[in-house]
Structure 1
Amino acid sequence: MAEELDFINNNNTDEEDRLSSLPDSLLIEILSLLPFKSATATSALSRRWVPLWTHLPHLIIGGFDDPLHTTSAERFFTTVNHILSQLISPQNHTFYLHYYHPISDALEFQLCSALFTSWVPLICARNAVKFEVCLDSLEFCGHSIILPTCVFQTPSLVHLKLRGSFHCKLPETGIVNLPNLKKLSLCGVNFDTLGLTTLFKCCPLLENLFLELNLMEDEVIEISAHNLKYLSIHLLGSSTASRFMIDVPLLEEIAVHDSGAFYNFVKKPCMLRKACIEWPFRYREGNDYLVQILELFRGISSVRSIHLLNSFPILYIIQHIDGNIWSLFHNLTDLRLGVPNERMNWGTSIPSALLPKLKRIRISGIDGDRNDVRSLKYVLSNADVLEHLNLFFVFDSNNSPEQRLWEEYKFCRYLFRLSRSSQSCKIEFNGCHIHTFTNGSQRVLGHSQINWLKSSMWLDSEEDHE
């Protein structure tokens, strides 16, 4: 037994010696693969390891899984300041800072704001590649943190994300130096529209743009980015007639979450693969509202796949104002819709000009009532080349699990007996308890699966009946 222990100890010593014999550069590279907290903890191993973490090129602090997330803002920012003061790496490749707790004291806000603005020039001077800061609740009585302009003069940046109450402006010279920026995300920041227009034009390699803007007055924003592949616009605020002038010829995906802006495409993007449109329906006087919807849909008419959230009011409006617009959608083969809460014969709202050429349809929010049955019957009878109909069932929370299972079973049994124009169509049903599909023939049932959930849920239900 003693010999075995000696052998194990000798092995441990050898392993420790081998690790310690590695050069600092390799050890630092290994540490950079660890979570930042784990990497700093290695300083307790021996004197040799004490300074190694200060050479790390990645600083990632915050997030819900970080213990600092639950601390006060003052402690969080002073801790980050202490860490930054010890870093000696010539490059801060990644600066990732997330903090979500609100500030209720003016002095605390001033301290945190002062510390943050002192870090930014240091990070930028060390050739940051990824700069991501999310300070959602870091404001006090409407005051914002003034973002140092050096962020927009850091040529090494490839990814820039700002989320929170930041006051952003371009350098006084008006010169933006972001030749390598590919991904830009601005959420909730205060940025004048002229500055935004200039910023987009000065990023020649920009491929991914995410905007969440709080526009209180009607503005004009130009988005000119000739290499842009993905564009997302989430418009908040009281503005009802802001205008986006969009020049993005290589755009492949677009997402618009909006109810109050005009979208003018300088040139229709011919490579558009996917569009996700959420246009909260509001009754408004005048024709501007209708013009806004039609302009947007004309601009994206080359799309191949479209996902419409809050969709059926939009389809209804377009169909009755200018139903011919759907004839422009020559490439559209994939349609995703959500059934409205108010039950209706939603199938007839799907444009008749689209149904004969759709290959994939996904419908969410059905509950199996008569309107759903009539709508699905209409769709299956008119979709001549349909290859896949994917249905997502919602359940009545007032019913027991047994009742929900029985309702899903009855609906599936009726659904798969419906006649269909496309004999090769696969119908897939996704319920709370049942997942099943048919391949082509109405008489051939594919794989079926019943989720019985946890037995405790069924027991609770039985007790409720008693």
Structure 2
Amino acid sequence: MRKKIRLAQSKDDLHDLGSDDLLSRLSDDILVSILSYLPLKDAAVTSKLSRRWRYLWCQRVCIAFEDNEGSGKIRREQDSSTLNEWNKYTSFCLAERNNYINWVNRIIRQHKSPIIDEFKICFDLDKNAKGAIRKWIEFAISKNVQRLELDLRQKNGLISYGWKNYVFPNKIFDRKCGSSSKRPSFNALVRPYATVMEIKFLKALILKRVDVDDEGLKKILSNCPVLEHLSIQGSCQLVKAKIDGEGLALKKLEIGGCSARLESIEICDSNIVSLDCWGSNCKRFPISLRLDNLQKLEKIFIRKCYSLKIINHMFCCLPNLRVLELSLFSTQRAIELLPFPELPKLKKLIINVEVREDVSLLVFTSLVEACPNLRRFKIELMSSMRRRKENREERQVAKKPHQHLEVVEISGYYGMTGHLELATYFIENGVVLKKLIIKPLILASPSADGTLEVENGPRYHAQQHLEPRTPVGLELVIL
């Protein structure tokens, strides 16, 4: 059972415990800070503790509207509904969305703090709630919000329809000087003789299943002068994304899961440090990616639907790259990357590749050899095989010592000859290799009693074939 907490502040308070209550001796600022670590609904319950606590939770500067209970109800209703009950399910979702909107509005009306560090909306909402969402954005900006996140993705596993996506309000920046002067609570910087305002405190903007078009992206970058982190996921209106200008404060950029309309991403003359791009499953043609004069770029994560020829060329223009992650559909796509340009400062390399048959994976060693100072290498083998075929004869691996490689991880190990060859290559060439991590592919098949039985073949294969090859001083970890 939960213990009831009772705090004292006055003799008239029925919850008073007396002057020896240590928690009540803390200042309001400290108590508000403590409440900021609680989920919003739990923090609101503390208003019943005493009169002093009645409005403390309303002063928290981090507000995350995460309704896991409501999302869970939608998932359960979906699981129990048949196709003939679709209208019933739709009505249920609408009611839950209205409950969520009313909850957010009620909290906003009670909020007392003049500033907000973080404001997060996390629920399955679409353009039908555009009026409420627009007001929430304006409220957050009026409180000098530093991190704003709109996560409107469906949590029920159903496919999201792009035409129903909420559209980011570009006009939020188009406030004339005359109208903005009447709203002193709207803490944004008005440019003299201009019709736009700068949102001068926003450092992070995360938009998931929110439509942002090319014009909207341009306005966000030009009107948020201290924006360091921008994430656009699941947009259906982005076509030609362009980010340029050394004056931008942007350091971390994420663009992914957008619709098939996305044609290109161009980033030039920027101080960006981390870039994460991934395509969508519906994209049939490669996305053009152009990177130029990015002297501070250290981390790149590129997954799905990007032209490998363009990727290969751009690496020559990234002298300070330290972390690289690439996703490839096959080993043949890796061959297209060759000859791989030398990346002298790269410390960590991650390769995700789909493997459909027992093929040699030694082609990826050419990528490793192009990184003379590499410290960590990971390869994620995404296999569609469900039965181990007859293994081919194992090939002799080349002798090309790596002087700095310390950790190698092979995930999706299934015991194919190609998997064994790759592991052997690192065992024999890792001069200072400290740890080899093998994560076997986990497969489950139905047993006689109807339960799922985990196949241990890949794990047993790794133990049987790799342990005898592991020298003293090298730690072999089979997860």
What TM-score do you get using the length of structure 1 for normalisation? 0.69
The residue that corresponds to 2:438 in the other structure is 391
Match of 1:197 among 226, 230, 242: 242
The residue that corresponds to 1:154 in the other structure is 199
* Partner amino acid, structure 1, of 2:478: N
The residue that corresponds to 1:116 in the other structure is 133
The residue that corresponds to 2:277 in the other structure is 233
Unmatched tracts of structure 1, length 5 or more: 1-9, 104-108, 284-288, 432-466
- 1:176 aligned counterpart, secondary structure: helix
The residue that corresponds to 1:444 in the other structure is none
Q: Post-superposition shift, 1:21?
A: 7.0
Q: How many residue pairs are counted as aligned between the two chains?
A: 404
Match of 1:259 among 305, 311, 316: 305
Q: Residues 424 and 357 (structure 1 numbering): CA distance in 2 closer, same or farther, change over 3 Å?
A: farther
Q: Post-superposition shift, 1:306?
A: 1.2
Counterpart Cα distance in 2 of 1:374 and 1:363: 12
Identify which range, 304-313 or 84-93, moves more after superposition.
304-313
- 1:142 aligned counterpart, secondary structure: helix
Q: Post-superposition shift, 1:28?
A: 3.6
Counterpart Cα distance in 1 of 2:218 and 2:300: 32
Q: Post-superposition shift, 1:212?
A: 0.7
Q: Post-superposition shift, 1:170?
A: 3.0
1:349-388 matches, cutoff 5 A: 358-368=405-415, 372-373=419-420, 376-377=423-424, 380-383=427-430, 386-388=433-435
* Partner amino acid, structure 2, of 1:305: K
Does the 8 Å contact 1:62/1:97 carry over to 2?
yes
The residue that corresponds to 2:351 in the other structure is 308
Q: Residues 337 and 347 (structure 1 numbering): CA distance in 2 closer, same or farther, change over 3 Å?
A: farther
What TM-score do you get using the length of structure 2 for normalisation? 0.67
* Partner amino acid, structure 2, of 1:36: L
The residue that corresponds to 2:466 in the other structure is 415
The residue that corresponds to 1:84 in the other structure is 108
Q: Does 1:280 align with 2:329?
A: yes
Does the 8 Å contact 1:345/1:372 carry over to 2?
no
Identical counterparts, % of pairs: 19
The residue that corresponds to 1:244 in the other structure is 289
Q: Residues 165 and 173 (structure 1 numbering): CA distance in 2 closer, same or farther, change over 3 Å?
A: closer
Match of 1:143 among 152, 164, 170: 164
* Partner amino acid, structure 1, of 2:374: L
Counterpart Cα distance in 1 of 2:111 and 2:426: 62
**Greater Rg, structure 1 or structure 2?**
1
- 1:38 aligned counterpart, secondary structure: helix
Match of 1:51 among 52, 55, 69: 55
Counterpart Cα distance in 1 of 2:121 and 2:298: 30
Q: Residues 12 and 412 (structure 1 numbering): CA distance in 2 closer, same or farther, change over 3 Å?
A: same
Counterpart Cα distance in 2 of 1:403 and 1:32: 42
Q: Residues 324 and 396 (structure 1 numbering): CA distance in 2 closer, same or farther, change over 3 Å?
A: closer
* Partner amino acid, structure 1, of 2:300: I
Q: Post-superposition shift, 1:334?
A: 3.2
The residue that corresponds to 1:72 in the other structure is 96
Q: Does 1:183 align with 2:187?
A: no
Q: Post-superposition shift, 1:410?
A: 7.4
* Partner amino acid, structure 1, of 2:35: L
Q: Does 1:37 align with 2:41?
A: yes
Q: Residues 221 and 141 (structure 1 numbering): CA distance in 2 closer, same or farther, change over 3 Å?
A: closer
Q: Residues 13 and 409 (structure 1 numbering): CA distance in 2 closer, same or farther, change over 3 Å?
A: same
Counterpart Cα distance in 1 of 2:398 and 2:210: 43
Q: Residues 122 and 345 (structure 1 numbering): CA distance in 2 closer, same or farther, change over 3 Å?
A: farther
* Partner amino acid, structure 2, of 1:308: I
Identify which range, 116-125 or 19-28, moves more after superposition.
19-28
Counterpart Cα distance in 2 of 1:201 and 1:69: 46
* Partner amino acid, structure 1, of 2:321: L
Counterpart Cα distance in 2 of 1:413 and 1:282: 26
The residue that corresponds to 1:4 in the other structure is none
